[in-house]
């Protein structure tokens, strides 16, 4: 399992905090998803081995919780808050704008591998709804026009990389 050294260090630190190793399943899966963007099959086997479980035990956790994804995401991850304040102020329109801009549906990766668009729950900035996280950056008051500007910026950054 190819994880960043800092992820491996955090995993080593987390496991002894739990009286039974099995209880570390959720935190380990979160750390892995943070690192690689999803939970690949090999991660399920790796976590099972680390926690002395059967892979099926870890697989059940991955499939039970909707926040775990089993497919890779795009290089850029656009997360649109859909909780009450954001929903009331147009989060659905904002999300659709991103989907249109990149020709992608929620939860899928754009054809060029650049972008995944997802709904998420409250991003704790309800006073500036609708709120969007792009990778680790929070963007406030993202209406359709702002979503189009941010999409253009993502395309510029992708072009600059190539
Ligand atoms: S409801 Fe969207 S940030 Fe809280």
Same domain? For 83 and 49 the reply is no
State how far Cα 60 lies from the chain centre: 19
What's this model's pTM, rounded to 2 decimal places? 0.76
Question: Do residues 82 and 136 both lie within one domain?
Answer: yes
Measure Cα distances from 151 to 16, 76, 148, 158 in Å. Answer: 43, 11, 5, 11
Print the domain residue range for 27. Answer: 5-64
Mean pLDDT of all residues in 15-20: 95
Going across the sheet that includes 132-134, the strands are 115-120, 76-81, 132-134, 137-139
Within this chain, do residues 145 and 82 fall inside the same structural domain, yes or no?
yes
How far is the centre of ligand 1, averaged over its atoms, from the C-alpha of 135 (Å)? 17
How does residue 76 score in pLDDT terms, banded at 50, 70 and 90?
very high
Given 64, 88, 109, the domain boundary residue is 64
Q: Output the CA 67–ligand 1 centroid distance in Å.
A: 17
- Give pLDDT, residue 157: 95
Angle at the Cα of 41 from the Cα atoms of 35 and 42, rounded to 5 degrees: 70
Q: Quote the CA–CA distance of 33 and 39 in Å, as a whole number.
A: 6
- Which of 64, 89, 114 is the last residue in one of the domains? 64
Query: Does residue 105 share a domain with residue 82?
Result: yes
| CATH at 44 | 1.10.10
Ligand 1 pocket, mutate which of 80, 92, 122 (most atoms under 8 A from CB):
122
As a whole number of angstroms, the distance between CA 152 and CA 146 comes to 10
Looking at the structure, tell me whether residues 92 and 58 fall in a common domain. Answer: no
53 with 92, same domain?
no
Give yes or no: residues 33 and 81 share one domain: no
**Tally of structural domains, the chain:** 2
- Answer yes or no: is 83 within a domain: yes
pLDDT, residue 67, reads 83
Give pLDDT, residue 17. 95
Let me know if residue 71 belongs to a domain.
no
Ligand 1 atom closest to Cα of residue 128: 3
- As for ligand 1, residues whose beta carbon falls within 6 Å of it are 81, 83-86, 122-126, 129, 131
- Measured in angstroms, how far is the CA atom of residue 78 from the centroid of ligand 1? 15
**pLDDT tier for residue 59 given thresholds of 50, 70 and 90:** very high
Spatial distance between the Cα atoms of 115 and 121, rounded to a whole number of angstroms: 19
CATH code assigned at 117: 3.40.30.10
What tokens were used for 7? 């992820």
- Tell me what percent of the residues of the chain surpass a pLDDT of 70: 100
118 with 154, same domain: the answer is: yes
């Amino acid at each position: 399992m190819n994880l960043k050294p800092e992820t491996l260090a955090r995993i080593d630190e987390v496991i002894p905090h739990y009286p039974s190793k099995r209880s570390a399943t959720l935190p380990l899966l979160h750390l892995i998803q943070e690192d690689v963007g999803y939970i690949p099959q090999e991660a399920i086997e790796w976590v099972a081995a680390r926690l002395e479980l059967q892979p099926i035990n870890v697989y059940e956790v991955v499939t039970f919780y909707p926040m775990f994804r089993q497919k890779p995401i795009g290089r850029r991850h656009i997360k649109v808050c859909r909780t009450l304040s954001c929903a009331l102020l147009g989060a659905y329109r904002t999300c659709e704008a991103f989907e249109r801009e990149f020709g992608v549906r929620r939860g899928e990766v754009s054809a060029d591998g650049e972008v995944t668009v997802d709904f998420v729950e409250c991003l704790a900035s309800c006073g500036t709804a609708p709120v969007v996280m792009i990778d680790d950056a929070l963007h406030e008051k993202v209406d359709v026009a702002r979503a189009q500007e941010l999409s253009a910026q993502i395309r510029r950054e992708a072009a600059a990389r190539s």
